[in-house]
Structure 1
Amino acid sequence: MHIRWKKIIITALDIVLAIYLIMAITAWNKPDESKMLCSKVNINISDSNNAGFLTAGEIKHILEKAHLYPLKKNMSDINPRDIEEALKIGPFVKTAECYKTKDGHINISITQRMPIIRIKSKHGADFYLDDNGGILPNSNYTSDLIIATGNIDNNFARLYVAPLAKAISASPLWLNQIEQINVLPDRGIELVPRVGDHIIFMGYLPQNKGPWTRKHEINLFVMKKLSRLEKFYRYGLSQAGWNKYSYIDIEFDNQIICKRRDEKAEKAEQEELTKEAKAEQAENNQRTEEEEREKARKEVERQEHATDGPTE
Structure 2
Amino acid sequence: MLDKIRNIKWRQVGYFFLSIVALVGVGMLMSLVNKKDQVQVCSALKVMVEGKETFIDQTDITSMIQEKFGRVVGRPLNEIPLQKIETELRRSPYVSEADVHMDMDGTMKVQVMQREVVLRVINQNGQEYYVDSKNQKIPVTLKYVPHVMVANGFIGEGYKKSLEPVQTKAVKDLIKVVEQTKNDELWSNQIVQLYVNNERDIEIVPRVGDQQLVIGNADSLSYKLDRLTKFYTHILPKVGNDAYSKVNVKYGGQIICERKGEWFMDSLQMKINKDNLMR
- The answer, yes or no, to whether TM exceeds 0.5 is yes
TM-score category, normalised to shorter length: 0.7 to 0.9
Q: Aligned partners of 1:166 and 1:230: how far apart in 2?
A: 17
Q: 1:184 Cα deviation (Å)?
A: 3.0
Q: Secondary structure at the match of 1:191?
A: strand
Q: 1:16 Cα deviation (Å)?
A: 2.9
- 2:218 maps to what in 1? 205
Contact 1:44 1:109 in 2 (8 A): yes
Segments of 4+ in structure 1 off by > 4 A? 4-13, 26-31
Q: Aligned partners of 1:46 and 1:27: how far apart in 2?
A: 36
Q: Aligned partners of 1:243 and 1:41: how far apart in 2?
A: 60
2:101 corresponds to 1:88: no
Q: Aligned partners of 1:130 and 1:16: how far apart in 2?
A: 55
Query: What amino acid is the match of 1:98?
Result: V
- 2:244 maps to what in 1? 245
Alignment equivalent of 2:151, drawn from 148, 152, 155: 148
Query: What amino acid is the match of 2:98?
Result: A
Query: What amino acid is the match of 1:165?
Result: V
2:57 corresponds to 1:58: no
Give matches, 1:106-185, under 5 Å.
Answer: 106-140=108-142, 141-154=144-157, 155-156=167-168, 159-185=172-198
Q: Aligned partners of 1:198 and 1:131: how far apart in 2?
A: 30
Q: 1:68 Cα deviation (Å)?
A: 4.8
Contact 2:122 2:153 in 1 (8 A): yes
Q: Aligned partners of 1:87 and 1:61: how far apart in 2?
A: 11
Give identity over the alignment, percent: 25
Aligned length: 244
Give matches, 1:270-309, under 5 Å.
Answer: none
2:27 corresponds to 1:23: yes
Flag structure 2 segments of 5+ consecutive residues without an equivalent. 1-6, 158-166, 263-279
Contact 2:247 2:256 in 1 (8 A): yes
Cα deviation digits, residues 229-274 of structure 1 (max 9, x gap): 22322333234322332111112342211122479xxxxxxxxxxx
Across the aligned residues of Structure 1 and Structure 2, the Cα RMSD in angstroms comes to 2.9
Q: 1:129 Cα deviation (Å)?
A: 0.6
- 1:213 maps to what in 2? none
Query: What amino acid is the match of 2:47?
Result: I
Flag structure 1 segments of 5+ consecutive residues without an equivalent. 207-220, 264-312
Query: What amino acid is the match of 2:53?
Result: A
Q: 1:29 Cα deviation (Å)?
A: 5.9
Cα deviation digits, residues 186-210 of structure 1 (max 9, x gap): 432111112221111002233xxxx
2:25 corresponds to 1:32: no
Q: Aligned partners of 1:172 and 1:69: how far apart in 2?
A: 49
Structure 1 residues 41 and 243, CA gap change in structure 2 (3 angstroms): farther
Q: Name the one with the larger helix percent.
A: 1
Query: What amino acid is the match of 1:171?
Result: D
Q: 1:158 Cα deviation (Å)?
A: 5.2
Q: Aligned partners of 2:236 and 2:115: how far apart in 1?
A: 38
Q: Aligned partners of 2:49 and 2:124: how far apart in 1?
A: 34
Contact 2:53 2:114 in 1 (8 A): no
Contact 2:174 2:218 in 1 (8 A): no
Query: What amino acid is the match of 1:201?
Result: V
Q: Aligned partners of 2:237 and 2:153: how far apart in 1?
A: 30
**Normalising by the residue count of structure 2, what TM-score does the alignment of the two structures yield?**
0.75
Contact 2:97 2:114 in 1 (8 A): yes
Q: 1:118 Cα deviation (Å)?
A: 0.9
Q: 1:119 Cα deviation (Å)?
A: 0.9
Query: What amino acid is the match of 2:241?
Result: W
Q: Aligned partners of 2:86 and 2:66: how far apart in 1?
A: 13
Cα deviation digits, residues 201-220 of structure 1 (max 9, x gap): 002233xxxxxxxxxxxxxx
Q: Aligned partners of 2:152 and 2:246: how far apart in 1?
A: 18
Alignment equivalent of 1:41, drawn from 26, 45, 56: 45
Structure 1 residues 92 and 228, CA gap change in structure 2 (3 angstroms): same
- 2:207 maps to what in 1? 194
Q: Aligned partners of 1:175 and 1:6: how far apart in 2?
A: 76
Q: Secondary structure at the match of 1:90?
A: coil
Q: Secondary structure at the match of 1:66?
A: helix
